[in-house]
Chains A and B, each alone.
Chain A
Amino acid sequence: MVETEKRKTFSGWSKKAKDRAFILAMLAIPVLHFAIFYVYINFNSILMAFQTQLEGKIQWGFQHFERMFTEFGLGDSILSQAFINTLTFWFTSMLVILPISFVLCYFLYKKVTMYRIYRVIFYLPSIIPSSVTAILFKYMIAGNGPIAEIFMSMTGTELPTLLTDSTYAMKTLLFYNVFFGLGTNMVLFSGAMSNIDSSIIEAGQIDGANMFVEMTQLVIPMMWPTLSTVMIFDFVGLFNASGPILLLTKGAYNTYTISYWIYDRVLFGGTYNYPAAVGLFFTLIGAPIALFMRWLLNHGVDDITM
């Protein structure tokens, strides 16, 4: 650490003053940026949730919240559907993508044959723009695309229109998320696994630990800080959970999520106050959940390291 001495330097400034000036210079822009782009924006967002523009005048009240609860009460409204879809995306991420990607990384860490090539290929969808991947996926499953042709040759029937039918659209988006999302955490997981002391794994093998035991009782505890961090961020993004909706369905055929609905209102609807109210409502629900889960998961870290 820098000792803040009071001795005078050649330039006339004391070391302490120079340090202070340096700290100020280094922090000025980020702190100002934070004040404007975080504090001001979010404060303004809260205000907007209670505002209604009527004939150029701003009225204050809970109209947007009343409207939101009314819509939720309807059951089949877009918001209700968006809420259910958001949770579906989130559960898929937590219960399907996260475990599978962990197992996938485990076998890459154990150097399954061709693991270097697999590592690159599995990570490719995270590197390639999702707008490109989504477009290619759309052409693959189109009525005149290769999947439809294979489906026809195997079953003799036409492939359903997967993205323009309410029965299949959401399931197709979920499939897309899982199929292209397994490599998302690969960098973090691979980094964490490669930092595990190999002698611990070898000792476990000599003691007769099978792969399941090795995975659950050695690898997971050893990389728990990374795993818990990924899980915490999944909880932080609980109501942000979404798929490539903009790229594939634009929310049609019952595929809205909360975050896409807000984006859609701003991009296409040009309405700001109602989405701000909905966002505030979900922030009030999501924040305590995220903070509680952070406490719980970090508590786990303490237990393990003790």
Chain B
Amino acid sequence: MAIEKKNYVGNNKVRKAVFGIVFIVFLLYAVALLTPYFYGFVISVKENGRAFMRDPVRITFPFYFNNYIKAFESLEVEKTGFFGMFFNSIWYSVGTTLFSLFSCTCTAYVISKYEFKGKGLIYSTAIVVMMIPIYGSLPARYRLYTQVGFINSPLILIASLGGFGTYFIYIHAFFKSLSWSYAEAAFIDGAGNFKVFFTIMVPMLLPSLSALAVMSFVGAWNNYSDPLLFLPKMPPLASGLYTYEFNMRYTANHPVYFAGVIISLIPVISIFAIFQNTIMSSVYTGGLKG
């Protein structure tokens, strides 16, 4: 017993030492990760373009918070001002999220809860499609979007209506784990399929759906490569700020530009701050089988 106790204490000492080292490494990594964003804030409150060029590194006083107001007034890409880019980000992110989640919820619900011919085929196809990497479809996609008028149009949201993919897998698993007894009781009371779906099953899934919605929203808000290609004249913030920096990198008023950059972070960070526990606790995958 004494030997076992000694070993256990010894083990604890090693654990404490390891945790101490890990804590320090994590602290250094966290500080290093935050530094670029802090640097962005430091630049955003500098006096103006010339003052920034003279000393781009050090914190200078006073802070010029009016750069944040100027960002709204002066940042412009493809005749779209900052408010316009902000608005584009909102409709693009919200639309993408609603369309994709709604579509995936519909498919996942009927495939997990109803018996019909072709159900197995649809589910297997959804899984196999995720597993087969298609690398060269971008040119064909761009050509189709051009032909159907998706380029520089909110119609691009139609492309988000796909009911399969990663979200389908998550939602399918959620529905599988939900009891069907509530629906059966509602059917006995005379409720129809749509009523059961919208008033009973979807509300039961809302906590999980909200986690996916946040992830989808953040992904769409941060997406710069698709809007750069498909929405060049209706840029959301992610692609607009990139284009602005690229076009104006030698003449831009950097503090004002970085003020715009910092503003663009506020919605996603706020949403993440509010929903972080939901995201961390709700999203869990148990492998893909099918």
Contact = CB atoms under 8 A, between A and B. Distances in A.
B163 A29 contact: yes
B11 A226 contact: no
B110 A23 contact: yes
B56 to A, nearest CB: 5
A140 B35 contact: yes
B225 A246 contact: yes
A13 to B, nearest CB: 10
A208 B139 contact: no
Contacts of B218: 126-127
A237 interface: yes
Given A38-B162, A279-B138, A291-B131, A122 B268 contact: no
Interface in A139-196: 139-140, 142, 144-146, 149, 179-180, 182, 187-188, 190-192, 194-195
A290 B57 contact: no
A133 interface: yes
Contact of A225 (B36, B192, B285): B285
Nearest to B279: A187
A282 B136 contact: yes
B222 A259 contact: no
A27 B272 CA distance: 32
B26 A232 contact: no
Given A18-B193, A112-B22, A127-B268, A266 B142 contact: yes
Interface in B98-148: 103-104, 106-107, 109-110, 113-116, 122, 129-144
A8 interface: no
A280 B136 contact: yes
A60 interface: no
B87 to A, nearest CB: 16
B40 interface: yes
Contacts of B141: 37, 41, 45
A185 B90 CA distance: 26
B130 A236 contact: yes
Q: Among the interface residues A107, A228, A273, which one has the most CB atoms of the partner chain B within 10 A?
A: A107
B159 A42 contact: no
Contact of A1 (B103, B113, B228, B280): B113
Contacts of A38: 129, 162
Interface stretch (A69-77, A91-99, A113-121): A113-121
A125 interface: yes
A287 B11 contact: no
Contacts of B239: 131
Contacts of A205: 11
A16 to B, nearest CB: 10
B182 interface: no
Nearest to B8: A208
A187 B194 contact: no
Contacts of B215: 187
A45 B137 contact: yes
Nearest to B143: A272
A238 interface: yes
Interface in B7-32: 7-8, 11, 14-15, 18-19, 22-23, 26-27, 29-30, 32
Interface in A238-266: 238-240, 246-247, 258-259, 262-263, 265-266
A247 B180 CA distance: 48
A121 B194 contact: no
A226 B162 contact: no
Contacts of B109: 26
B82 interface: no
Contacts of A236: 130-133
B164 interface: yes
B185 interface: no
B99 to A, nearest CB: 10
Given A27-B122, A42-B137, A37 B114 contact: no
Nearest to A38: B129
B175 interface: no
A281 B136 CA distance: 8
A286 B132 CA distance: 8
A276 interface: yes
A115 to B, nearest CB: 8
Interface in B28-68: 29-30, 32-37, 39-40, 43, 53, 56-57
A107 B269 contact: no
A86 B161 CA distance: 30
B274 interface: no
Contact of B40 (A41, A131, A136): A136
Contact of B116 (A20, A121, A128): A20
Contact of B139 (A113, A146, A194, A276): A276
Given A140-B36, A278-B135, 15 more contacts: A26-B109, A44-B140, A117-B30, A121-B33, A121-B34, A127-B269, A129-B268, A188-B285, A191-B281, A206-B8, A225-B287, A273-B139, A279-B134, A294-B131, A294-B288
Interface of B: 4, 7-8, 11, 14-15, 18-19, 22-23, 26-27, 29-30, 32-37, 39-40, 43, 53, 56-57, 103-104, 106-107, 109-110, 113-116, 122, 129-144, 158-159, 161-164, 180, 187, 192-194, 197, 215, 218, 221-222, 224-225, 228-229, 237-239, 241-242, 245, 261, 264-265, 268-269, 272, 276, 279-289
5 contacts: A1-B115, A27-B163, A44-B143, A125-B33, A194-B281
Closest 8 CB pairs of A and B: A279-B136, A30-B163, A225-B287, A272-B139, A191-B284, A45-B140, A22-B193, A136-B36
